[in-house]
Each structure stands twice: as structure tokens, then as C-alpha cells.
Amino acid sequence: MKTALLLSLAVGASLALVGCNANEKAADREASTPPPTLNSPHFLREEVNGEKLVIYQMMTRLFGNQNTTNKEYGSIHENGVGTFADVTPTALQGLRDLGATHVWYTGVLEHATMIDQREIGIPLDDVDGVKGRLGS
């Protein structure tokens, strides 16, 4: 009985000490500024290092593409394509000069293509899945 009582007191004291520590941490969190959320009315006015957050959405398949052809179901050779090599320090500085503080790379994934690249180990894609021919 004494052992159970002592054990109960020890557990209770431990919980009280842990609870105090948690309360102190909670007070510290409340004192700091919470991060912005999408629901925050001031989200678009948030600043990063003293400047307004401006995100440039980069479509990597288009960025740097000099070919203006837009042939429906056209190949890369017909319509052209941008590459990561087009994202140079000069290009990034140009975006910075426009006021962008961040770049969001959109569409960075493996796309189905009609180009035969088997010589470098990339298998052929199903022609029906290329360019939305399956209705996607």
C-alpha cells in the first residue's frame, strides 16, 4: 500500500513538473508571431526579410522556349521546349529585377513523349497516352 501511494505521488509530481514545462513553452509560442496561413487576412501582405513575398510561377517546359509554333499534338522538335539550362543566373536576376522574391517551378515531372530515347535507357511511351489522347 505504501509503495502504491509513493508511486502515485511520484507520478503525480512528475506530471505536474512536465505540465509546468509545457505551459512555459505554450506561453513562449503565444508570445512569438505565428506563421501566416492562407486564411490569414494579411497573408498577401506578409513580408520576408522586410520585403513583400512575390512568387514567379515558372512553367519549365515553356521558360526559355524560343519557338513560337503551337502545333496541336506537335512534337518537341515542332513546338520546342524550355529546359533547366534556360534558368541561368542572368534569367533569375531578370526575375528578381521584376520584383520576384521566389520561383515556383511548375510541371517538373516526367512527361510522356513521342521521342525515341531507348539508346539512353528510356523506354518508349504508349503513343495513346501522349498529349492527352486518352482524354485526360
Shared-domain flag, residues 111 and 63: yes
The reported pLDDT for the residue numbered 75 is: 82
Mapped to the 3 state alphabet, what secondary structure does the chain carry? CHHHHHHHHHHHHHHHHHHHHHHHHHHHHHHCCCCCCCCCCCHHHCEECCEECCEEEEECCCCCCCCCCCCCCCCHHHHCCCCHHHCCHHHHHHHHHCCCCEEEEECCCCCCCCCCCHHHCCCCCCHHHHHHCCCC
The reported pLDDT for the residue numbered 60 is: 84
Q: Which residues of the chain have pLDDT under 50?
A: 136
Shared-domain flag, residues 78 and 124: yes
Shared-domain flag, residues 15 and 48: no
The reported pLDDT for the residue numbered 39 is: 64
The reported pLDDT for the residue numbered 76 is: 83
Number of domains comprising the chain: 2
Q: Which domain holds residue 2?
A: 1-32
Shared-domain flag, residues 56 and 1: no
Shared-domain flag, residues 60 and 102: yes
The reported pLDDT for the residue numbered 33 is: 67
